[in-house]
Amino acid sequence: MTKRKVYFNHDGGVDDLVSLFMLLQMDDVEVTGVSIIPADGYLEPATDASRKIIDRFSTYQVEVSKSNSRGKNPFPSDWRIHSFYVDALPILNESGTMEAPLSELPAHKHLIETIRKTEEKTILVFTGPLTDLSRALEEAPEIEEKIEKLVWMGGTFEKGNVQEPEHDGTAEWNVYWDPEAAYQVWQTGIEIDLVALESTNKVPLTPAVRNRWAKERCYEGVDFLGNCYSGVPPLVYSETNSTYYLWDVLTTAALGREELVKRKVVQCSVIPDGPSQGRTILDPAGKPVNLVYDTDPDAFFSYLTELAKKAAP
Ligand code: AGV
Ligand code: CA
């Protein structure tokens, strides 16, 4: 089987790290590199957790790289702290070692190098802001030809999830952290699968989902899911600013099993500054993207559990 070549850039949230775990289990995917941007997580624990997940759950070696990018609008530290919880999980620290190689290059250069040295075209999966991609394209515009497509968790055409002073609430956080970067990527010809809040809103973390994982914790991979998600707040009665969804995990699942989601082409642009900065907005003159707007939650959660059981039976 020829495997699809996937480069993964994430920002250290619980669902980012679970996404890495998932990508490593997909039979027809080879992860060619992983990089970490310190947006919704802290750089050191998110990088260490990534290397430990590769050590524990991958059947092949993957090189990891740290980003030196900085955003415009920082994430709340209450959310970023989650990266420490995952890094501290006993299952990731049993061996007491960290073997997955760490690149000397910062993420945007690591991305350029990995795309160049991969013979086939690369699929990019980004589950944080687009800063490293935007910098890579600025430094080496010719890599665009070797990018198959970008699968990105970002954006919304409905209600945003940013509740911050000086903002009107229309943006999704991954766009808002660095609106200029998303704006720049929108100026390229790269094909984009946009996994927006429209679809991720359908997959909240709930007590029922947690109970399902608890029942099957005899599988080490399912126990890992349960432990990862024990550190973040579920949807119980009504949504709060902290309610956790499986945003990034749906994004990786949409790559692993395409029929789990519904897509449609929409033309849109990104607002780079001002009170709506980071908003993705329908625009007949804008870039056509494949909007992932719906999913079947049952099928999604079954797929997730299936992969987790495969990882560590
Ligand atoms: O906007 C969703 C993105 C996803 O990439 N992140 C979390 C996911 O990793 C930011 C975010 C929005 N609301 C959050 C977020 C919350 N309540 N807790 C943590 N992160
Ligand atoms: Ca994320």
CA atoms of 150 and 121, how far apart (whole Å):
11
Least distant ligand from the CA of 172: 1
Task: Return the structure tokens found at 306.
Answer: 């299936």
Going by CA atoms, what residue is nearest to atom 16 of ligand 1?
A: 242
CB 23 within 8 A of CB 31: yes
Q: Are 194 and 289 in contact (CB under 8 A)?
A: yes
Between CA 88 and CA 66 the distance in angstroms is 19
For the CA of 128, the nearest atom of ligand 1: 5
Instruction: Tell me the CA distances in angstroms from 253 to 156, 268, 269, one per residue in order.
Output: 19, 24, 25
Q: From the CA of 39, how far away is ligand 2's center (Å)?
A: 8
Residue whose Cα lies nearest atom 14 of ligand 1: it is 242
Q: Which atom of ligand 1 has the smallest separation from the CA of 11?
A: 9
Q: For a substitution probing ligand 1, which of 85, 247, 279 has the most ligand atoms within 8 Å of its CB?
A: 247
CA 120, CA 84: separation in Å to the nearest integer? Answer: 35
pLDDT tens across the length of the chain (313 residues): 899 999 999 999 999 999 999 999 999 999 999 999 999 999 999 999 999 999 999 999 999 999 999 999 999 999 999 999 999 999 999 999 999 999 999 999 999 999 999 999 999 999 999 999 999 999 999 999 999 999 999 999 999 999 999 999 999 999 999 999 999 999 999 999 999 999 999 999 999 999 999 999 999 999 999 999 999 999 999 999 999 999 999 999 999 999 999 999 999 999 999 999 999 999 999 999 999 999 999 999 999 999 999 997 7
Give the pLDDT confidence score for residue 280 in this predicted structure. Answer: 98
Q: How far is the CA of 194 from the centre of ligand 2 (A)?
A: 14
**Ligand nearest to the Cα of 76, by number:** 1
Question: What is the number of the ligand 1 atom nearest to the C-alpha of 242?
Answer: 17
Q: Name every protein residue with a CB atom under 6 angstroms from any ligand 1 atom.
A: 13, 15-16, 40, 79, 127-128, 153, 161, 172-174, 242-244, 247-248
SS3 readout for 235-288: CCCCCCCCCCECHHHHHHHHHHCHHHEEEEEEEEEECCCCCCCCCEEECCCCEE
**Are 193 and 125 in contact, with CB atoms under 8 Å apart?**
no
Point out the ligand 1 atom lying closest to the alpha carbon of residue 15. Answer: 9
Strands 122-126 and 147-153: parallel
CA distance 125 to 122: 10
Find where tokens 């003159």 sit: 285
- Tell me which of 22, 79, 177 to substitute to probe ligand 1's pocket, judged by most ligand atoms within 8 Å of the beta carbon: 79
Question: What was the ipTM of the complex prediction?
Answer: 0.99
pTM above threshold 0.95: yes
Q: Measured between alpha carbons, how far is residue 249 from residues 153, 223, 305 in Å?
A: 9, 16, 12
Predicted local confidence at residue 118, as pLDDT: 98
What is the pLDDT at residue 56?
A: 98
* 256 alpha carbon – ligand 1 mean position (Å): 21
> According to the model, what pLDDT value does residue 49 have?
98
